Amino acid sequence: MLSGFLFSWWLCFSPYTTQAPAPEKPVNIVLIIGDGMGLAQIALAEYLYKPPSPLAQMEVIGLQKTHSATHLETDSGAAGTALSCGVKTFNAAIGVDADSTAVKSILEMARDRGMKTGLVVTSSIVHATPAAFYAHVTSRGSYEEIAAQLVATGVDVFVGGGEKYFADRYSDGFDLVESLKKKQYQVLHLDDPRGRANLESIRKEHKIACFTALEDPIRASMGRTYLPWMAVEAMDALEKRADKGYFLMIEASQVDWASHANDQEWLALEMQDAFAMMKGVLAKVREDENTLLIITADHECSYMSLKGKRSPRVEFSTKVHSSQMVPVFADGPGAEEFLGIYENTEIFKKMKDLLGL
Ligand SMILES: [Zn+2]
């Protein structure tokens, strides 16, 4: 009797008591978005890229449905808002719901919790996908308003084109580059040959605004090389500044543009650039066990397929976005949450829950 009591007491307090392990929680999240990067775009890179493919090394694969509140074929504004804010909205909307009410983004929630935040893109920094993470406007084309909202949001590190929407403004004539400097930003230009060295040596107290073009950055095929190394630099810079973790969104923006243009060569080089970036980010993520890496798209573009015998030949069916589901790859603490088929808005909710925001 007594031994039975002691045994059950031992079971209650023993370190060997079997309990379901608590789900792993990440300290940092890196979200990579390939704009317009559907399965066929990925397959093209898989056939062209020298193995090992970074996506083939990801632990978990799921699928997301990309439709907006108004269309099966979403645009990047509505899809970006679904990923960043967790709401389905109308096409062309940025950070507002279907009633045009502003909705807080995962980046803003992370910032409010004391986490550091970053954006690295190969479009202009005010383009729809990055804008969905910090701006709230009903029309994605309001670039000067979006630029003003980026300054107000206080993203710690951002890299992308579109400097003219800060420096040369029609709507109010304000010099937002000066505003950035007043807000403790170190403003850099990637055409400055010292740009790379500058980023590495920027003091921790400074935020980083790195402009890569006056308007849209050039294509990878025309000599744009910054995405792979700048993605890792941004992770380093955020890590250096973060006491409570960081949230970073990286976008391979021009995969979409090449698909719209039905240009196989442009697309192949953008996908190879995206793969080189993913490889570097994944290697860095695997240096510790604190960072959840998610790689997905906002939508597919051009209803693309691959044909041919030995080397892939791309067949584009349209010049617009499609309604196809797109894959979600995840690696690191919390990755298993991304198994299955779900709405794009669920990605926001999963990130929010995993960060405890
Ligand atoms: Zn597009």
- pLDDT reading at 22 higher than 90: no
Strands (E), the chain: 28-34, 60-65, 116-124, 157-161, 185-189, 207-211, 246-252, 291-297, 305-307, 313-315, 326-331, 340-343
Encode pLDDT of 137-147 as tens digits: 999 999 999 99
On average, the pLDDT of the chain sits at 92
| pLDDT given at position 309 | 84
Summarised one tens digit per residue, pLDDT across range 106-124 is 999 999 999 999 999 999 9
Q: Residue 29: CB partners within 8 Å, gap ≥ 6?
A: 246, 247, 248, 291, 292, 293, 294, 351, 354, 355
pLDDT band for 79, please (50, 70, 90 cuts).
very high
Q: What is the distance in A from the centroid of ligand 1 to the CA of 9?
A: 63
pLDDT digits (tens, 9 = 90+) for 249-293: 999 999 999 999 999 999 999 999 999 999 999 999 999 899 999
Assigned CATH for 25-355: 3.40.720.10
Q: What is the whole-number distance in angstroms between the Cα of residue 248 and the centre of ligand 1?
A: 22
- Ligand 1 centre to CA of 130 (Å) is 13
Neighbours of 113 (CB within 10 A): 13
Give me ligand 1 centre to Cα 20, in Å: 43
Domain boundaries, the chain: 25-355
Residues with C-beta atoms within 5 A of ion ligand 1: 256
Which is higher by pLDDT, 181 or 13? 181
Task: Compute, in angstroms, the gap from residue 312 CA to the centroid of ligand 1.
Answer: 23
The answer on pLDDT for 131 being more than 80 is: yes
Mean pLDDT of 38-54: 91
pTM, to two decimals: 0.93
Dist. CA 8 → ligand 1 center (Å): 62
**pLDDT score recorded for residue 51:** 81
Among 130, 36, 82, CA closest to 345: 82
Alpha-carbon span 256 to 240, nearest angstrom: 32
Q: What is the percent of the chain with per-residue pLDDT over 90, rounded to a whole number?
A: 86
Which of helix, strand or coil describes residue 305?
strand
Evaluate if residue 20 carries a pLDDT over 80.
no
CA distance 298 to 82: 9
